[in-house]
């Protein structure tokens, strides 16, 4: 599971840049130094100061110029830093100093002069003169002869200063460099040999003299010119057109050059309110926090700057849980990752109320579904074991109930539905007969559903008018017929039946039936008070003697002919 579970508020406020001011100063070393632009740096503010010209006797070389301004660079740009030196003083035949200063040349050894001062510059992504983006012009070297001292021209500004002229030689001083060309050489007088040269891009011109050398021009964007017995011209300054807030100052300082750059580094700050589970490893990987509190960490942002982060941290903890569970067939774990089908001890993990891991242990008992089949017979219908269904037709049915272990018991029931034929026919106007043979019968009085004592034959002859039905039991099934109405008991239906007499009545073992006319195969039936048939015979004579040896009691005799029947009450002694 993840350790960081919930971030309540990803960012309380947007990242805020905090500037840190940095100042770097570069001094003359005689070598080029390198400065790399980093992504989180702001614009570079520069102060570039050139070297002054060298002295001669008591004459001073011209001061070096200064340039100030601001430029923006891209990440990974490389700045090549060159700091100019102070020109060499009191020299004859001295070479130019570091970074394109003017040189000195003397025709003989009877005089001295100062070399031009070195320019200071910043070059972008290359070390050629064409790569310069800021240049401060160096001062021109001093010249002179004997007690005559001639000061060098000041370096700096867009046009360098002019070297001091030899008395009565009005054009002898070297001219300052400009933005387009180097400073012109001083013009000698008389027949002095002329070894002076003009300044050029990045180089000061040479000075010359018969008995004392004129000062060489200062190095600069374009160098100053040299002079005969006079001061050298100053070099010009330069800034790339992309620079802003540019300020030029000519003749700023005496001595070696200097370059100062300043900038701001933007640090990014952000605050987070977070809730985590168990611990949080800080973004830098240096810290592991396991308790609620406020913490800080620093990493590099996407811009390469420091990203200072403050965490208002809530540390929640994982929980554990155990449970004994009994299930049927299978159990799906709370996470939904597992389905367990066997008894055993299992583990699962889900988030708790705080969003951290809840490690659960289950002591699981798995019981199983059972199956059973049964062949069943039922009368008219069957209510399923579950009580959910009522089946009224023969067929195969399914039902489910709980088994002894509390799991499903799947029942297959092969069901036969038996019915009882309870149809009843009228044999005569006072006799009913169940259509179904070979069953068990019980006739009842529909008025109160009471059983008629002894009326258990398939037939029943009513001894009084009323409504009657029969309860039929066929095998295991019992059903009751509809009620049938008898209303003809005691009615005289023809003259033959009207003329019947019985004597004696009561009788002992026999009695005589007397008809008013001779009957033809009249059916004679005697039933007890329960309706049970106890005698059956025929009568063909006008006087027919009937022998009956039944028990003493009350009986009913029914005489049936084609035209009808009649019932009489008889009593045996």
pLDDT higher for 229 or 476?
Answer: 476
Do 480 and 519 lie in one domain? The reply is: no
Do 184 and 65 lie in one domain? The reply is: yes
Do 376 and 480 lie in one domain? The reply is: no
Chain mean pLDDT for the chain: 86
Confidence of residue 239 (pLDDT cuts 50, 70, 90): very high
Global model pTM greater than 0.85: no
Confidence of residue 230 (pLDDT cuts 50, 70, 90): confident
- The total number of structural domains in the chain stands at 6
Do 277 and 329 lie in one domain? The reply is: no
Percent with pLDDT over 90 in the chain: 58
- Domain annotation covers residue 11: no
**Distance of alpha carbon 281 from the chain centroid:** 21
pLDDT at 306 over 60: yes
- Domain annotation covers residue 9: no
Do 82 and 201 lie in one domain? The reply is: yes
pLDDT higher for 299 or 293?
Answer: 293
Across 37-44, average pLDDT: 88
d(CA 183, CA 217): 8
Using the 3D structure, point to which of 239, 256, 273 is the last residue of a domain. 256
What pLDDT score does 150 carry?
A: 83
> 137: domain range?
29-256
Do 152 and 184 lie in one domain? The reply is: yes
- Domain annotation covers residue 298: yes
pLDDT at 492 over 60: no
Segment 531-564, tens digit of pLDDT: 889 999 999 998 999 999 889 998 888 888 877 7
Q: What CATH number has the domain bearing residue 531?
A: 2.60.40.1220
Do 311 and 325 lie in one domain? The reply is: no
Using the 3D structure, point to which of 432, 462, 486 is the last residue of a domain. 486
Do 152 and 110 lie in one domain? The reply is: yes
Do 102 and 177 lie in one domain? The reply is: yes
Do 463 and 337 lie in one domain? The reply is: no
Q: Which residues of 81-119 are buried (b: 16+ CB within 10 A; e: fewer)?
A: bbbbbbbbbebbebebbbbbbbbbbbbeeebbbbbbbbb
- Cβ pair 45, 243 in contact under 8 A: no
Do 81 and 131 lie in one domain? The reply is: yes
Do 463 and 502 lie in one domain? The reply is: no
- Domain annotation covers residue 66: yes
What's the chain's length in residues? 573
- Domain annotation covers residue 478: yes
Q: Which two tokens stand for residue 156?
A: 């700096």
What pLDDT score does 92 carry?
A: 46
- Cβ pair 425, 449 in contact under 8 A: no
pLDDT at 102 over 60: no
- Domain annotation covers residue 342: yes
Confidence of residue 494 (pLDDT cuts 50, 70, 90): low
Segment 318-374, tens digit of pLDDT: 999 899 999 999 999 999 999 999 999 999 999 998 889 999 999 999 999 999 999
- Domain annotation covers residue 24: no
- Using CA atoms of 211, 108, 175, 158 in order, give the dihedral in degrees to the nearest 10: -130
- Cβ pair 85, 51 in contact under 8 A: yes
Residues 6+ apart with CB under 8 A from 424: 432, 433, 434, 435, 469, 470, 481, 482, 484
pLDDT at 15 over 70: no
- Domain annotation covers residue 19: no
Across 385-400, average pLDDT: 95
As a whole number of Å, the CA-based R_g of the chain is 70
Confidence of residue 292 (pLDDT cuts 50, 70, 90): very high
């Amino acid at each position: 599971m993840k350790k960081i579970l919930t971030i309540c508020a990803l960012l309380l406020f947007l990242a805020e840049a905090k500037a840190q001011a940095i100042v770097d100063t570069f001094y003359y070393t005689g070598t080029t130094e390198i400065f790399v632009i980093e992504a989180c740096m702001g614009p570079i503010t520069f102060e570039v100061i050139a070297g002054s010209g060298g002295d001669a006797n008591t004459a001073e070389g011209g001061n070096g110029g200064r340039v100030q301004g601001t430029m923006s660079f891209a990440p990974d740009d490389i700045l090549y830093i060159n700091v100019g030196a102070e020109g060499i003083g009191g020299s004859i035949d001295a070479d130019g100093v570091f970074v394109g200063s003017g040189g000195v040349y003397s025709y003989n050894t009877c005089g001295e002069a100062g070399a031009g001062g070195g320019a200071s510059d910043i070059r972008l992504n290359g070390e050629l003169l064409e790569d310069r983006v800021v240049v401060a012009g160096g001062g021109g070297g001093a010249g002179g002869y004997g007690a005559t001292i001639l000061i060098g021209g000041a370096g700096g500004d867009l046009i360098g200063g002019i070297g001091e002229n030899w008395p009565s030689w009005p054009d002898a001083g070297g001219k300052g460099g400009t933005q387009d060309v180097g400073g012109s050489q001083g013009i000698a007088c008389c027949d002095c040999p002329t070894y002076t040269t003009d300044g050029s891009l990045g180089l000061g011109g040479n000075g010359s003299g018969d008995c004392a050398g004129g000062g060489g021009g200062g190095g600069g964007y374009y160098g100053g010119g040299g002079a005969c017995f006079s001061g050298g011209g100053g070099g010009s300054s330069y800034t790339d057109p992309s620079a802003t807030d540019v300020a030029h100052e000519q003749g700023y300082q005496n001595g070696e050059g200097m370059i100062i750059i300043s900038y701001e580094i933007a640090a990014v700050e952000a605050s987070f309110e977070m809730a985590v589970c168990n611990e949080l490893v800080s973004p830098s990987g240096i810290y592991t926090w396991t308790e609620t509190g406020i913490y800080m960490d620093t990493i590099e942002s996407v811009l390469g700057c420091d990203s200072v982060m403050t965490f208002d941290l809530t540390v929640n903890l994982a929980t554990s849980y155990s449970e004994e569970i009994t299930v049927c067939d299978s159990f799906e774990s709370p996470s939904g990752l597992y389905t367990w089908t066997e008894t055993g001890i299992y583990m699962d993990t889900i988030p708790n109320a705080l969003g951290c891991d809840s490690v659960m242990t289950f002591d699981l008992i798995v019981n199983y579904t059972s199956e059973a089949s049964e062949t069943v017979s039922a009368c008219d219908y069957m209510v399923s074991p579950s009580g959910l269904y009522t089946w009224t037709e023969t067929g195969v049915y399914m039902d489910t109930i709980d088994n002894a272990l509390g799991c499903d018991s799947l029942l297959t029931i092969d069901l036969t539905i038996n019915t009882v034929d309870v149809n009843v026919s009228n044999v005569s106007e006072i006799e009913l007969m169940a259509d179904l043979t070979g069953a068990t019968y019980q006739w009842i009085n529909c008025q109160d559903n009471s059983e008629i004592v002894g009326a258990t034959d398939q037939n029943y002859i009513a001894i009084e008018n009323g409504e009657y039905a029969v309860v039929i039991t066929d095998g295991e099934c019992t059903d009751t017929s509809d009620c049938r109405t008898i209303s003809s008991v005691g009615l005289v239906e023809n003259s033959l039946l009207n003329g019947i007499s019985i004597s004696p009545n009561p009788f002992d073992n026999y009695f005589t039936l007397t008809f008013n006319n001779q009957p033809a195969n009249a059916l004679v039936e005697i039933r007890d008070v329960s309706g049970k048939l106890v005698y059956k015979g025929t009568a063909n004579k006008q006087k027919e003697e009937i022998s009956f040896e039944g028990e003493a009691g009350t009986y009913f005799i029914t005489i049936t002919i084609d035209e009808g029947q009649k019932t009489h009450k008889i009593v045996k002694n």
